[in-house]
């Protein structure tokens, strides 16, 4: 039995305002759209997701307890080189990485993940250089 695979269409550009949003719910919706599961032509072995622009990453809403308790842990592989960074410090230094880290954890761990993450554009403030693509607001449930 022979099947045909339709070519992927050009991605739609969406813009999301993260001001006052909860990180986990926002990241789950972004990962859903980056993967392309919102389209009827979804195929798990193709890059069929859309481009997402996230604005105001520094204005995410967190509870005070989560700001104090959540930690990002990395290890270089050398003895004694365990690095721990609190969420409060990460938001103040580089708020874009907080959203990218959350979305990365919600995407599948396969060869397509880096291609999906290249379609995510996160900015700490409310301006972006992608006005020529005419992004439309992403409908959040």
**pTM for the whole thing?**
0.91
**Percent of the chain's residues with pLDDT above 90:** 87
Q: Is the pLDDT of residue 141 over 80?
A: no
The rounded distance, in Å, linking the Cα atoms of 50 and 10 is 8
Per the prediction, the chain carries an average pLDDT of 93
CATH topology of domain 13-62+93-128: Ribosomal Protein L13p; Chain: A; (3.90.1180)
Any long-range contacts for 101-107 (C-beta under 8 Å, 24+ apart)? 101/72, 102/23, 102/24, 102/26, 102/27, 103/27, 103/30, 103/31, 103/34, 105/27, 106/27, 106/28, 106/31, 107/31, 107/34, 107/35
Place of tokens 């580089």: 94
Does residue 6 register a pLDDT over 80?
no
Mean local confidence (pLDDT), 64-85: 95
Q: What are the residue boundaries of the structural domains of the chain, listed by start? A: 13-62+93-128
What pLDDT does 41 receive? 86
**What local confidence, expressed as pLDDT, does residue 29 receive?**
97
Q: In 76-91, which positions are buried (b, 16+ CB within 10 angstroms) versus exposed (e)?
A: eeeeeeeeeeebeebb
């Amino acid at each position: 039995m022979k099947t045909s695979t339709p070519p992927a269409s050009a991605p739609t550009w969406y813009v999301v305002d993260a001001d006052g949003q909860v990180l986990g719910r926002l990241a789950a919706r972004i990962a859903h759209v980056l993967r392309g599961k919102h389209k009827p032509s979804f195929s798990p072995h193709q890059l069929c997701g859309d481009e997402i622009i996230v604005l105001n990453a520094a204005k995410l809403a967190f509870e005070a307890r989560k700001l104090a308790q959540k930690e990002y842990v990395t290890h270089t592989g050398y003895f004694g080189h365990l690095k721990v960074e609190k969420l409060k410090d990460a938001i103040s230094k580089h708020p874009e990485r907080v959203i990218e880290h959350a979305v990365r954890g919600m995407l599948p761990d396969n060869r397509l993940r880096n291609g999906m993450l290249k379609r995510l554009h996160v900015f700490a403030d409310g301006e972006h250089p992608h006005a020529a693509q005419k992004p439309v607001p992403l409908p959040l449930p």
